Amino acid sequence: MLSLRLLSLDDREAFYKAFNEPWESHFDFIHYWESLADMNFDKYVAMSPGFSQGLHIPKEHVPAILLFAFNELGEIVGRTSIRYELTEQLLKEGGHIGYGVCPSHRRKGYATEILKLSLNWVKSNLPNINKVLVTCDDGNIGSQKTIESNNGELENIIEVGKGHRKMRYWISLL
């Protein structure tokens, strides 16, 4: 059983444990951690609720909420970023929802559950969005299965860089 929520000051230990996992170099587990919060946990906890209102974020970014996935032991097993709108770039390769599972918690079904909870969060909190875009790298079988198990319908596969392709899925919330 997972729950999605913002960080609180009581989550410091769980946060650093998740943050210090061996993440892939191209994956940004904590948006704005270095650039806006100066890697200061208290500052991040205080400012992160404002991201959803467009506060503190760069002008070219969109309002979004970054929620952390906690298991029944209080461990952070992953996170989700739910964007309230799409730019041209997000329409190509970012989508409405971006999620990640901590390396030590992978292959346990957490990605599927995080995406499911994220979709429910959108339904409950963003009634103007009736379908969401979720993307993954072409060939990432785990992500494909996660998205498809949450009723993702593949629209297309596009080239986003030299030899780099993204699969673009839409999920209806109706």
Query: Using one digit for the tens of pLDDT, what is the confidence trace for 36-89?
Result: 999 999 999 999 999 999 999 999 999 999 999 999 999 999 999 999 999 999
Q: Hey, what CATH topology would domain 3-172 get?
A: Aminopeptidase (3.40.630)
> What does the domain layout of the chain look like in residue ranges?
3-172
Q: Which two tokens stand for residue 82?
A: 């739910």
121: helix, strand or coil = helix
When comparing pLDDT for 162 and 96, which is higher?
Answer: 96
Gap between the Cα atoms of 22 and 53, Å rounded: 31
Alpha-helix residue ranges (DSSP H) falling in 35-174: 41-47, 88-93, 110-125, 141-149
pTM: 0.95
**pLDDT at position 27, please?**
87
84 close to 46: Cβ distance less than 8 angstroms: no
Confidence label for 161 from pLDDT (cuts 50, 70 and 90)? confident
Does the structure show a pLDDT above 90 at 15?
yes
With H, G, I as helix, E, B as strand and everything else as coil, classify residue 119. helix
> Do the strands 97-101 and 76-83 form a parallel or antiparallel pair, or are they unpaired?
antiparallel
Q: In what order do the strands lie in the sheet with 97-101?
A: 3-5, 64-70, 76-83, 97-101
